[in-house]
């Protein structure tokens, strides 16, 4: 059926011509509504503007609201707000007034004017709201209160929203922001994990779901639930590869802290950063791959010498070098690390052991003595004193060796090694041709430690020394 050319022309004029050619009164409103429904906001605005102030217009609040909506859609925010305000002030009891106030609040929030948004929304009691508007109203009000630094006002509003409208489109945003609010007040609050997990489970592919997943992974890491954190990061990398660049380092750290060494190596393998090299080196070390670990530490120190992780890397590389018998590098690396209360004792131990391994006996004694003095209550103090005494014995410094061994034997801390220290002191005294001193040491050993494994040696030595004393008398 062919359209009448005159009819087509009339329709075009009705759609495109100025308002003077259009219908008037109710017909003009219907025409504007039709244009509005087709998202033809520029033309709809022209028609609404032509009739909005006509005397006798019914539903003026609807015309004003749709006029404001058209202005908003066209990006004319200030003019839209003025039209919304006419609805709010002129027709305060209408549904359009509620919708207009909500739109004004949305615009204020988007512009960072949170005080204005909160003021607009506080003016109406929640009980008077149209139910379909309540979730959005509560969300924007809570959001505005939170952003203006009033978390105590925001929290109950978020909770009412989630209790009464927990399945609305605003609920995921409310859960995410309530979790952030709670975390700022008490990082251990039990609700935080539940809220974030609910967002991830309900809208995992939406932007708010992806943001919640990132926050959940970071939250779990902060709570030291490294395995759960690593699992969340793994899902993020699987479901949202675009996040890989920003997330991979965090995922590697979570896997490393969870003791998942192979997973850490897979995640960190493509990272040339200090973090990537550090967790790779540590994972290789945990897997017993000493050479690979040392290479990774060396790469980190070569490329990121000033990074905060370089200190820890030097310490761990020094320990590995000592283990591998590379004493020169072990001492050099340990000497480059700034001592801290946590590392100071171990650093001195590595340097002392490296000096001893390299044949630098006097240096080793100095380092052992410093360790024993500076960390007298530490776990390595006794071993350091034993090692220093042994080095004096090896150097044939008999007097000093005996003095040190006797001090160890009399010290309650050295009681587990008392028998062997009395034996060593007695031996040093025999080398000094002091049989009486030797007999004194052996006598204590034989009397107080009858179960000593080398008791036969002590008995024999004591007998010889006593015979020597008899010959000398």
Length of the chain counted residue by residue: 473
Residue 125, number of CB atoms within 10 A of its CB: 7
Instruction: Extract long-range pairs of 448-451: CB within 8 Å, 24+ residues apart.
Output: 448/418, 448/419, 449/418, 449/419, 449/422
Please give the distance of CA 464 from its chain centroid, rounded to a whole number: 69
Looking at residue 468, its pLDDT comes to: 84
Per-residue pLDDT of the chain (473 residues; tens, 9 = 90+): 454 443 433 343 344 444 444 455 788 889 988 999 999 999 999 999 998 889 888 889 999 999 999 999 999 999 999 999 999 999 999 999 999 999 999 999 999 999 999 999 988 888 888 999 999 999 999 999 999 999 999 999 999 999 999 999 999 999 999 999 999 999 889 899 999 999 999 988 899 999 999 999 999 999 999 999 999 999 999 988 888 888 999 999 999 999 999 999 999 987 888 999 999 999 999 999 999 999 999 999 999 988 989 999 999 999 999 999 999 999 999 999 988 888 899 999 999 999 999 999 999 999 999 999 999 999 999 999 999 999 999 999 999 999 999 999 999 988 889 999 999 999 999 999 999 999 999 999 999 999 988 888 889 989 988 888 876 55
Please report the pLDDT score of residue 1 as a whole number: 43
- Three-state DSSP at 229 gives helix
Cα dihedral: 173, 175, 176, 179 (round 10)? 150
Measured over the CA atoms of residue 383, residue 388, residue 394 and residue 398, the dihedral's sign is negative
State the sign of the Cα–Cα–Cα–Cα dihedral 129, 133, 139, 143: negative
At 124 the pLDDT is 83
Query: What is the spatial distance between Cα 12 and Cα 44, in angstroms, rounded to a whole number?
Result: 14
Residue 319, H or E segment: helix 309-323
Cα 282 from chain centroid (whole Å): 19
How would DSSP label each residue in 114-152? HHHHHHHHHTS-GGGS-GGGHHHHHHHHHHHHHHTT-HH
CA-CA distance, 157 to 177, in Å (whole number)? 12
Residue 108 and residue 120 in contact, taking contact as beta carbons nearer than 8 Å: yes
CA 89, CA 12: separation in Å to the nearest integer?
A: 37
pLDDT at position 272: 81
Contact 220, 228 (CB under 8 A): yes
Matching residue, tokens 């820890």? 312
Supply the pLDDT for residue 298: 94
**What is residue 55's DSSP assignment?**
T
What is the CB neighbour count within 10 angstroms for residue 315? 22
């Amino acid at each position: 059926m062919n359209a009448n050319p005159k009819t087509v022309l009339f329709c075009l004029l009705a759609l495109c011509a100025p308002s003077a050619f259009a219908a008037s009164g109710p017909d003009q409103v219907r025409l504007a509504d039709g244009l509005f429904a087709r998202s033809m906001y520029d033309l709809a605005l022209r028609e609404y503007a032509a009739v909005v102030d006509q005397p006798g217009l019914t539903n003026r609040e609807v015309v004003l609201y749709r006029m404001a909506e058209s202005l908003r859609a066209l990006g004319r925010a200030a003019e839209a707000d003025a039209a919304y305000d006419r609805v709010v002030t002129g027709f305060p009891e209408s549904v359009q007034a509620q919708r207009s106030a909500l739109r004004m609040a949305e615009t204020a929030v988007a512009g960072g004017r949170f005080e204005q948004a909160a003021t607009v929304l506080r003016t109406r009691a929640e009980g008077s709201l149209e139910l379909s508007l309540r979730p959005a109203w509560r969300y924007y009000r809570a959001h505005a209160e939170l952003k203006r630094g009033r978390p105590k006002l925001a929290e109950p509003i978020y909770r009412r929203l989630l209790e009464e409208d927990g399945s609305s489109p605003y609920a995921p945003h409310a859960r995410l922001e309530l979790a952030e609010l709670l975390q700022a007040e008490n990082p251990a609050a039990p609700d935080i994990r539940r809220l974030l997990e609910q967002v991830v489970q309900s809208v995992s592919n939406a932007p708010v779901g992806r943001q919640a997943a990132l926050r959940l992974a970071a939250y779990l890491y902060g709570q030291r639930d490294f395995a759960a954190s690593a699992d969340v990061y793994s899902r993020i990398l699987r479901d949202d590869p675009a996040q890989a660049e920003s997330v991979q380092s965090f995922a590697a750290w979570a896997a490393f802290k969870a003791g998942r060494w192979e997973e850490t190596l897979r995640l960190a393998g493509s990272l040339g950063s200090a973090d990537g090299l550090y967790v790779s080196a540590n994972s290789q070390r945990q897997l017993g791959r000493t050479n690979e670990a040392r290479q990774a530490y060396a790469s980190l120190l070569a490329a990121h010498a000033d990074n905060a992780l370089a200190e820890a890397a030097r310490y761990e590389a020094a320990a590995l070098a000592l283990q591998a018998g590379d004493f020169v590098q072990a001492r050099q690396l340990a000497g480059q690390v700034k001592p801290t209360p946590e590392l100071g004792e171990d650093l001195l131990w590595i340097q002392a052991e490296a000096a001893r391994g390299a044949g630098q006996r006097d240096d080793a004694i100095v380092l052992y003595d410093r360790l024993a003095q500076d960390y007298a209550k530490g776990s390595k103090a006794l071993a350091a004193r034993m090692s220093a005494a042994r080095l004096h014995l090896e150097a044939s410094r008999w007097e000093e060796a005996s003095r040190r061994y006797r001090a160890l034997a009399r010290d309650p801390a050295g009681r587990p090694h008392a028998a062997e220290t009395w034996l060593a002191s007695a031996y040093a005294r025999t080398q000094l041709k002091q049989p009486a001193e030797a007999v004194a040491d052996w006598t204590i050993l034989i009397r107080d430690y009858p179960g000593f494994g080398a008791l036969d040696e002590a008995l024999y030595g004591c007998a010889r020394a006593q015979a020597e004393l008899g010959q000398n008398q």
